[in-house]
Each structure stands twice: as C-alpha cells, then as structure tokens.
Amino acid sequence: MQPDKIFSLLKLKFSQATQEGSCGAVVIPRERLLDVAKYLISSELSFDNLHCITAVDRQERIELVYIFFSLQARHNLTVKVYLTPDDLKVESLASFWKSADWFEREIYDLFGVTFRNHPNLRRILNPEDWKDHPLRKNFSRSDFIKKERY
Amino acid sequence: MAITEKIPASGLIEKLPGGGVFLTTTENIFKWAKVSSLWPLTFGLACCAIEMIAAGASRFDIDRFGSGVFRASPRQCDVLILAGTVSVKMGNCIKRLYAQMPEPKYVIAMGNCAITGGIFCYDTYSVMKGTEELGIPVDVYIPGCPPRPESLFFGLMKLQEMIRKEKNAAR
Amino acid sequence: MELPVREEEKNIHSEECYMNMGPQHPSTHGVLHLELKLDGEVVVDSIVHIGYLHRSMEKIAENRTYTQFIPFTDRLDYVSAMNNNLGYCLAVEKLMNMDVPLRAKYIRVIAAELNRIASHLIAIGSFAQDLGALATPLFYCFRERELILDIFDEICGNRLTYNYMRIGGVQFDLPDGIDKKIQDFIKCMRSRIKEYIDLLSYNVIFLARTKDIGVLLKDKAVNYSVTGPNLRASGVRCDLRKDEPYLVYDKFQFDIPVADKGDVWDRYNIRIQEIEQSLRIIEQALAGLPEGNPTVKVGRIHKPPAGEVYLRTESPRGELGFYIVSDGSEYPYRLKIRAPSFSNLAVIPELIRGVKMADVVSILGSLDIVMGEIDR
C-alpha cells in the first residue's frame, strides 16, 4: 500500500493526524497513541512488526518516532508523537508489541521519557543508580570531555 | 651433539659440557615454570576479544607459549588480559575479578581502549578511560586497535622477559 | 520419565536459588549478565542485564562529521564490520541523494558477503564450543576465517575493523590478483562446508542438545521483532536482500533458506546454508565486476540537506537500521542505530523459562548475539 493511502486511511479514523512535511511521517497527539496502535495492529494495515522506537531532542519539544513494518503487506509507516520537555509521559505500547519493551526502557534511560503501564521501566544501558539522561542536548557533566569541532 | 642441542630457558640454565648435568638455581627453575605456563582468564570485552580468540586459534597458536589454557574462573588464572573497552558498569566487576585472582598475578592491557580509552575517550559518559582510571596495576600495555595477534604475542613475550628478571621469584 | 515421589520426599523443604551468569562467563558471547532463578537444574525465571559495554556511540555521533563516524560503526558489530559500514554509508547516501558508481556497488557486495561468511563461521564455531565440543570446531572455523581475513588485509589493510567504505563508494580499489585469491577461497570453502556438515550437523550428541530445544514460534518471533536467521528459522521468509534489494542484489540469483520448526538446530542449519548462498553471490559478483571508478570524488566533509532517513540492511544477525536526522550542518543532529541483536536478545527470558541450565547455553549460542551492537 502506498504511503498516501495509509495516511488517508488513518486520517479518516483519527482526524487529528497530520503529516510532517519532509519525510512523510504521521504526527498524532499523545492521547490517541493507544487507539492508533490498536488500529494499526488489527486492521487490514496489519503492522505486525514494530521495528524501532527512538526519540529526537529538538530543544522545544521531544519527538518520539515509531517505525512500523508489515511483513504480510510489505509496507511501512513512521508515526511521531510530540512531547513538551516539562511533561514527558506517554502510554507504553508493550502490551501490543513485545519489541517495544526494551526500546522504551532505552528511551527512558537516555531521554527521561516515562512510559505509563510499562511492565518493567528501569534503566537498561546505564547503571541503575544514575541520575542523568545523557542524550538530551542540555546534558553536561564534569568528566564529559568534548572533542573540538573542525 | 652437545653443541647443537637447544638449552631450555636459555640464560637461566647452564648445561655442563658432556651432557646430562645442568647447573641452575631454584629461583631460575621457578621462573622457567612461571614463564611457560601463564594461564589467562577468559575475559574479552569487545573487539579485541576476537583477536584474542584468533590468537588462540590454529594459525597463531598461543598454546606454544604455554598460555593456551584459558580458564573461566579467576581463582585458577595467572594473567588477566584486559581486552576491550571498560565501561562504568563493568569497572566494579573487573576490580572484583582482579581481587579474586591469587598471587602472583599479572595484567596485560590489550588495545587502545584498555590503555586510555582509545577512540572512546571524547564525548562519552559511560566509558572509563582505560586502566588508568580503573586503578589496577598493569604490567604490559599492547597498543593497537585492535592489535594483531602477533602484537599480543610480543606483549606476552615482554611479560615473560619481565618475569625472568624479577628479583623474588618464589612468591 | 517421572519417578514416583516417595512419602518422605513430599515434606522436604526446597528453595529456589538465584544465580548470576556473567558478565564474565565463557559462554555468554561477551559481557551479558543473566540473573537466573533456579529450581534445581530448571530455570524458573530470568532477568537480562545489559549495558556492560555501553560506549555512548549515539552521543559521539553528534560531535563527529559523517566520515569521522565510519570507524565507530566498525566497532558496533565487530565481527562483521563491513556490513555496519555498508548500512551507515547507504543511509547517508540516501539522505544526500547520492548515487555510487556501479563498480563500487559490486565491490561493496563482495565485501559484505565475505564478511557474512566470516561472521557465520564465528557463530558456528563458538556455538559448537559452548556445547562442549571444546576447541575443534572453533579451530576449523577460524582456519577458514583466517583465509577471509587475509583477503581483507590485502584489500584494506586491517583484519577486524576495516573502515573500508566511504560515503560515495569504497576507500581503495581492489588490488590486482585478488579475484584469483577469492576464487581459490570459494573452492576451498565449498569443500569445508561438506566437512562441517559431516562432522557436526548430524552428530548424535549435537542433535540431542539442539533438536526441539528453544523453539521460537512464528508469531512470537514477529511480535518481538526478531530478524535475520532466527526469524527465518521460525518459518518466516523474510530477507531484505530479496524483499527490498539494495546495491545490486537484484542482479544475482540466490536462495533464502527457511526452516519450519524454530529450534536451535534449525537456527544453526540456516547459517550453514547461508554460507553456501553467500558463496554463490560472491561468484556471480566477481564474474560481473565492471570497470570504472570505485568511488565518487566528494571530499571528506559532507553537508546533507536537512531531513531524516531510516534505512535498514540485512546484516548477518538481522536487520540493521540507521535513523539519521540532519539539520543541514556537517554533524548529524541525531543518529540512532537499530541493532538486530538488541531485539533478538529480548526473546531470551521467554525461551529459557522451564529449560535446564545446560540448555540456556545452547539457546543463547544459537541466537548469535554480539554485545557490541546491543550496548552500542
């Protein structure tokens, strides 16, 4: 299925979905995330493979990027959710796709986004008693040596 | 016959002409035994571990140095070959492993990451800058990223030389 | 066979014990820490701890130019470094809308497939070693791997971390006489595969330790986003080289081995068959290698236009994905590496529930994980 057709199907069901300009990702508000997930996994779109979840720190907002693939229908979809830096909470998708479990733990570790209803939200890559979230742009520590740029 | 026979652990043990009698000290016998049977710990962390395994494989045979017996338990090892990047989470484990090894014990830091952090010394928040930051005493440093198995052997031979020159071998 | 429980045994107090497996362990393929809850020999539950090799590569990427980051991609999945280089360079080239010369594409395919064979050899050798065949399969596999590393040594100068691909092509052209060496290697490797199948695949002890153990069902594998040989062993026919061909894979003829049971033996057998298929691809690539430039002359500093890209390639362990966000400068704004072993490892707590301690080693070895790319 072509990306435009997927977006138009989503827009029919969820009117708040918009399309981001350059890359074709579908932006949905965070409150509808669970409904969109239910629709994606069970409908004819059959996105059975949640390939990757990642986050981008854009200073004024944090974007959560969900990348879906479908093994049967051979199409893909990128969904984005925008979060404001002072309210980093969103629902977890671990009940639909088990691969979301570890990806969300990693985002919690590196960015500080809390996922509600996650089965085991603990740090995964850094030691468990750490306090920082390193991949934020405002991260700094005394022993963090930066290399000079060109 | 006596002239062309190879003298074991040359320099430490003298062969009297005529064959059959060797002259040495007990210190030299101990040193020869120590040097020829340095058992490493199976402790590969990252990419250098693959070169360490290749050094143990059939082309570069580490068994001819007597070090082919990689033991899994630190209680049975002589040398800790620290191969790979040391991260903050792993630092405590390495200190505990080093403490569990019985004396006499030696440490070889293999690879740039184990010496000073290597290419991971800038812009990292989770890497210990090598054995300097870790705090365990190191005997031989082998630079390279990753060092070839021949470099590992050169480092091992340097360690053997160092042991041969030790003052007190019976510790 | 269940023995009848005697009356005295019904009142014996027994406890479950917690045991740490790793991070220093001879069979955990790197620094993996498994916390196991054991009832005698049987694993009741387990918790996986990773992060012992976390080298903050994604933070490093934000302060390096695109070309400066290529050596770091080598150190991700250090056993098959060419495939990581390839995935990264393809992603940046897609972001910049750059096309590479045809000769570079063929050379990239040859390098990537040779590295796939080398990686599968390590997987098979260390798997057999963990099962108790001690050093013999490992030495046989490393003997072949050294031949491949000799070829790579001639091509790019390094044995393990090649840093060979560049954005726009490859770093050096193939040296003279290398195609004869590669063809000799292919002939030699074909006879050696027969040796492995004769010695290992149908050995009674090997079968007893690998058949019907660690069965990964199809639905679970897809839900956990398992990819690569592990997914193909569970019955899903999915290979990016055929489904979404990149480089020149659509010009070659090769099969995708698929098994149906999903147990440990299937995962091992798929890797042996994939070595044969890779040999076919290399033969065809060598035969059709065109003349031309091995790289596009683009200089060392690249400034892709602002945007983002997600590109996945088929590495020996699964689907390796690179998500790059660019803001128009020479430095990436965000680089995310989707490692195949990360999702493959997440299946472990389900697979080892209820099996004996010895089978844990067998299952872990068959998944073929590399901690370098899990922890990044």
Which CATH number characterizes residue C258's domain? Answer: 1.10.645.10
Contacting B residues, span 113-132, partner chain A, CB-CB under 8 Å: 121-126
B47-56 and B149-164 helices, crossing angle to 10°:
70
Q: State the CB neighbour count (10 A cutoff) for residue C290.
A: 10
pLDDT digits (tens, 9 = 90+) for C259-310: 988 899 999 999 999 999 999 999 999 999 888 888 777 777 888 888 889 9
- The chain A residue lying nearest B88, using CA atoms, is A127
> What residues form DSSP beta bridges with C36?
C19, C46
Whether this model's ipTM surpasses 0.85 comes out as yes
- The chain A residue lying nearest C322, using CA atoms, is A52
pLDDT digits (tens, 9 = 90+) for C311-366: 999 999 999 999 999 988 889 999 999 999 999 999 999 999 989 988 898 999 99
Start and end residues for every CATH 3.40.50.12280 domain found in chain B:
38-158
Higher pLDDT, B2 or B22: B22
Q: How far apart are CA A65 and CA A100, in angstroms?
A: 12
Q: How far apart are CA B105 and CA B158, in angstroms?
A: 15
Question: Given a cut of 90, is residue B169 above it in pLDDT?
Answer: no
* Best mutation target, A54, A74, A78, A144, to test chain C (most C CBs within 10 A): A54
Contact B159, B106 (CB under 8 A): yes
Q: State the CB neighbour count (10 A cutoff) for residue C128.
A: 25
**Residue C306 falls inside a structural domain:** yes
Question: Given a cut of 70, is residue B170 above it in pLDDT?
Answer: no
pLDDT digits (tens, 9 = 90+) for B149-159: 999 999 999 99
**Residue C129 falls inside a structural domain:** yes
Interface contacts (A, B; CB < 8 Å): 22
pTM for this prediction: 0.91
Instruction: Tell me if C331 and A149 make a contact (CB, 8 A cut-off).
Output: yes
Which range among A103-112, B20-29, C222-231, C257-266 shows the weakest confidence by mean pLDDT?
B20-29
Instruction: Tell me if B124 and C56 make a contact (CB, 8 A cut-off).
Output: yes
Chain C partners of B114 at a C-beta cutoff of 8 Å? none
B neighbours by CB contacts (3+ pairs under 8 Å): A, C
Which range among A1-5, A88-92, B125-129, C176-180 shows the weakest confidence by mean pLDDT?
A1-5
Q: How many residues does chain A have?
A: 150
Q: State the nearest Cα–Cα gap between B65 and chain A, in angstroms.
A: 38
Token pair recorded at residue C80: 């098959």
pLDDT digits (tens, 9 = 90+) for B21-80: 777 788 888 888 888 888 988 788 888 889 988 998 889 988 888 888 888 888 998 899
Assign domain B38-158 one CATH number from 1.10.1740.10, 3.50.50.60, 3.40.50.12280, 3.40.120.10: 3.40.50.12280
Per DSSP (E only), the strands in chain C are: 17-21, 33-39, 42-49, 165-166, 169-170, 307-315, 318-326, 332-338
According to CATH, the topology of domain A3-103 is Beta Polymerase; domain 2 (3.30.460)
Which range among A40-44, A97-101, B51-55, C201-205 shows the weakest confidence by mean pLDDT?
A40-44
DSSP letters spanning C225-270: T--THHHHHTT----HHHHS--TTGGGS-------SS-SHHHHHHH
**Residue C355 falls inside a structural domain:** yes
Which range of residues forms the domain containing residue C212? 8-375
Helices (H), C97-203: 102-128, 136-156, 178-196
Compare CB distances from C336 to A54, A123, A149 and report the shortest one's residue. A54
Contact B86, B113 (CB under 8 A): yes
Chain C partners of A74 at a C-beta cutoff of 8 Å? 243
Q: How far apart are CA A7 and CA A19, in angstroms?
A: 8
Taking only Cα atoms into account, the Rg of chain B, rounded to an integer number of angstroms, comes to: 18
First to last CA, chain A: 44
Question: Given a cut of 50, is residue B1 above it in pLDDT?
Answer: no
